[in-house]
Amino acid sequence: MPPTDGREREIKLELGSAEDRDRLLAVLPPPSEVKEQSNHYYDLPRGDLRAAGVMLRLRIEKTEHAGVGGTADDAGVGSRERARITVKEGAKRDGAGLFDSAETEADVLVADARRVAQGDVTFESLGGEILTSLAARFGDLKSLACWGTLENRRSVHPLDAEFVLEVDRAVYPDGTVLNEVELESDDPKGAHARLTALLDSVPVSYRPSTASKSERLAAMG
């Protein structure tokens, strides 16, 4: 079960290859949703937010609701779009794949998000409490600019009410592909044990993720 205290606690494990991803998907129940996520990361010109450990992301997401017998690579039987601002900070990690960070999110209109992503209007124009809070800490946000983007395909597999596995295929601008599994939980140790047991049973190769997707993107320069 995802945390409800304003912190995001999730297990992130990197799969060894695309073949490992395919083997895992073959044994999982059909996804309830498949999400195409376009992620845009923003900062001030001098990198003030990232220097303070703050990630600011605008995500535009199309969700396909999979039908009976659907797979993670099939089109669904219904779709919707949403856009969301996310701020994460105060990240902690344990080296075994547990990421723990404060998270604040707010939905915005998809049309407005697209205009920002295309550079037609400023990020600041989206308004809202998140940006008001950031402005109080970092000053004028008119110069917020996108420093990187990545595309991610996420299939969501509920195994039970407490265990909802997300399987990601993230594509970076240089063509690098990251295959990763994520699991949010308010019991990270228990979730980690159950997730690794599942992966070992397939079996697939994996290792703890040591960096977030945005950190990987930043490291590419």
Distance from C-alpha of 146 to C-alpha of 135, rounded to nearest angstrom:
17
Question: What's the pTM value of the predicted model, to 2 decimals?
Answer: 0.92
**Dihedral sign (CA 54, 84, 21, 194):** positive
In a domain, 1, yes or no: no
Domain that holds residue 80: 7-219
pLDDT of residue 149: 98
Tokens at 148, concatenated = 């990187």
Question: DSSP character for 153?
Answer: E
pLDDT at 167 over 60: yes
Is residue 197 included in any domain, yes or no?
A: yes
Rounded-to-integer distance, Cα 49 and Cα 133, Å:
12
What pLDDT is attached to residue 4? 46
Establish if 180 belongs to a structural domain: yes
For residue 74, the domain's CATH number is 2.40.320.10
27 to 77, 151, 201, 202: CA distances (angstroms):
22, 25, 10, 7
> Number of folded domains in the chain?
1
Residue 221 reports pLDDT greater than 90: no
pLDDT at 134 over 60: yes
Split at pLDDT 50, 70, 90, the class of 162 is confident
Q: Encode pLDDT of 199-210 as tens digits.
A: 999 999 999 999
- Sign of the C-alpha dihedral computed for residues 209, 210, 212 and 213 taken in this order: negative
